[in-house]
Amino acid sequence: MLAMFNRILRPALKQAQLSPGVRNPRLPWRQKTQIRACAATSATFQPLEDCLVLNYGGTTMHLNYVWLRDHCRSAASYNSSTNQRNLDTGSIDLAIRPDNATVQNGHLVLTWPGGHVSKYSLSWLAENSYEGKKQSTIQPRILWNSDIYKEANILSAKWDTFMSCDDEVKKFLQNYLLYGIAFVDDVPATVEATEAVTQRISLIRETTYGRMWCFTSDFSRGDTAYSQLALDRHTDTSYFQEPCGIQVFHCLKHEGTGGRTLLVDGFYAAEKVRQQSPENFELLSHVPIRHEYIEKSDNHRNHMTGIGPVLNVYPWNNEMYLIRYNNYDRSVINTMPHDLVQRWYEAHRELTTELRRPENELWVKLTPGKVIFIDNWRVMHGRDSFTGLRQLCGCYLTRDDVLSSARCFGLQA
């Protein structure tokens, strides 16, 4: 948890944050060196007893010596062909210190006991240090309400181009990463074509609902989705320990009225809570809640449980990466002490109020040929009630593979 993370790290960082040139009698082994690699760039470093303090590019980094040896990129320590570590981390002396340290041609060069030499690009250290990561974003996003999204005028990808042109796939993935939703138009209204368009970016994640699913309002499964009822905003598979990453929908047929799809950016609403009530945001991001799916029918028997906080953030930079919100599947609340229960309900109410603001609702009518990809870790979906025959198909995609596809196009994800 973030609070525990901070309690552990802050004292350690405070001890290491010493001004250049100030001598600490408890740390006898130190030196100060300044190297000018070029006219516009300088680096200074100070070897302390427990770490090396490096100042470069406006960032002060505290680099643990075991960490430095563990991240050596020499051929003996690291296989650059497979991008895997050769060095046995368990063999590193936990009291290791370099015998010598210099900066040469934009690199920190350390000589270790025994003569092994490690070279680290200063820019690589700035990018990969804790201090660098604390200031950076893992995945850039544009948070939106209905007006923001409509004014962005995001174009849908086209089936023919999407299936044949990598540049179209890259633009599609960029939109998906930024907004959490993306569309492909003119897709043939078949399960087979829907499967083909999804496989352009990811592997399909098979679940208890199958690989590709096709359903109507026949109550064939123990889930409200298999009805004509309206569905409030929610994320899917909150009862999985790792909720499905991407939801795909394609309306193959609708002979009736209603049935619009509701989309809400959960991160936009959660950021409003963070700005207005930081204590409520912190509570929702730390208290684990249980979600559950129980199905008992002649053809299907399932009992699934997923546990995690409503909001999930990276502890080093407080960036949100997952929202788990489903009032249908939330189980008994028994994972917090009595004195937190009322506070949790108040925090949850504030988030729900933001999620239900009309200006945050984007309504889309799915028609045959329009396939929507939804980031199920961020964007909630729901629907209007409807009449008549309405047939949808779709699937879940593995989040890791979608993000991998994006990174292979050079996108930040």
User: Residues 61, 178: one domain?
Assistant: no
Number of domains the chain contains: 2
Residue environment code for 259-298, b if the CB has 16+ CB neighbours within 10 A, otherwise e: bebbbbbbbbbbebbbeebeebbbbbbbbebbbebeeeee
11 is a domain residue: no
Higher pLDDT, 68 or 27: 68
User: Residues 103, 167: one domain?
Assistant: no
Q: What is the pLDDT of residue 42?
A: 86
Q: What is the pLDDT of residue 296?
A: 86
User: Residues 247, 337: one domain?
Assistant: yes
Q: Where a domain ends, among 101, 134, 167? A: 134
Q: Where in the sequence is the domain holding 379, given as residue range(s)?
A: 146-409
Q: Where a domain ends, among 105, 134, 163? A: 134
pLDDT tens digits, residue range 99-124? 999 999 999 999 999 999 999 999 99
4 is a domain residue: no
User: Residues 107, 202: one domain?
Assistant: no
**Confidence class of residue 150 from pLDDT cuts 50, 70 and 90?**
very high
323 is a domain residue: yes
User: Residues 150, 130: one domain?
Assistant: no
Q: How far apart are CA 98 and CA 29, in angstroms?
A: 11
Q: How far lies 274's CA from each of 147, 238, 311, in Å?
A: 21, 22, 11
> Above pLDDT 90, what percent of the chain?
79
Q: Are 226 and 213 in contact (CB under 8 A)?
A: no
β-strand 181-185 against 157-158: which pairing, if any?
A: parallel
With tokens 């427990």, the residue in question is 50
159 is a domain residue: yes
User: Residues 111, 259: one domain?
Assistant: no
User: Residues 373, 229: one domain?
Assistant: yes
User: Residues 107, 161: one domain?
Assistant: no
115 is a domain residue: yes
Side-chain-facing half-sphere of 215: CA atoms under 13 Å: 20
User: Residues 343, 255: one domain?
Assistant: yes
Q: Are 98 and 115 in contact (CB under 8 A)?
A: no
10 is a domain residue: no
Q: How far apart are CA 112 and CA 294, in angstroms?
A: 58
Q: Where a domain ends, among 104, 134, 164? A: 134
Q: What is the pLDDT of residue 217?
A: 63
- Hey, what are 402's tokens? 């979608």
362-364, strands of its sheet edge to edge: 231-234, 379-383, 261-265, 362-364
- Any idea what the CATH number is for the domain that residue 54 is in? 3.30.2020.30
Task: Say how many C-beta atoms besides its own lie within 10 A of residue 256's C-beta.
Answer: 13
pLDDT tens digits, residue range 239-282? 999 999 999 999 999 988 888 999 999 999 999 999 999 999 99
User: Residues 117, 155: one domain?
Assistant: no
Q: How far apart are CA 3 and CA 24, in angstroms?
A: 29
Taking residues 31-37, report their average pLDDT: 41
User: Residues 397, 345: one domain?
Assistant: yes
User: Residues 188, 277: one domain?
Assistant: yes
* DSSP element (H, E) containing 74: none
The long-range contacts involving 208-214, CB below 8 angstroms and separated by at least 24 positions, are 208/295, 208/300, 208/302, 208/304, 211/395, 212/393, 212/394, 212/395, 213/393, 213/394, 213/395, 214/252, 214/391, 214/392, 214/393
Average pLDDT for the chain = 89
Residue environment code for 58-73, b if the CB has 16+ CB neighbours within 10 A, otherwise e: eeebbbbbbebbebbe
pLDDT tens digits, residue range 202-217? 999 999 888 999 877 6
- Any idea what the CATH number is for the domain that residue 397 is in? 3.60.130.10
50 is a domain residue: yes
- Angle, in degrees to the nearest 10, between helices 166-179 and 399-408: 120
Taking residues 184-204, report their average pLDDT: 97
33 is a domain residue: no
Least confident of 15-29, 305-319, 398-412: 15-29
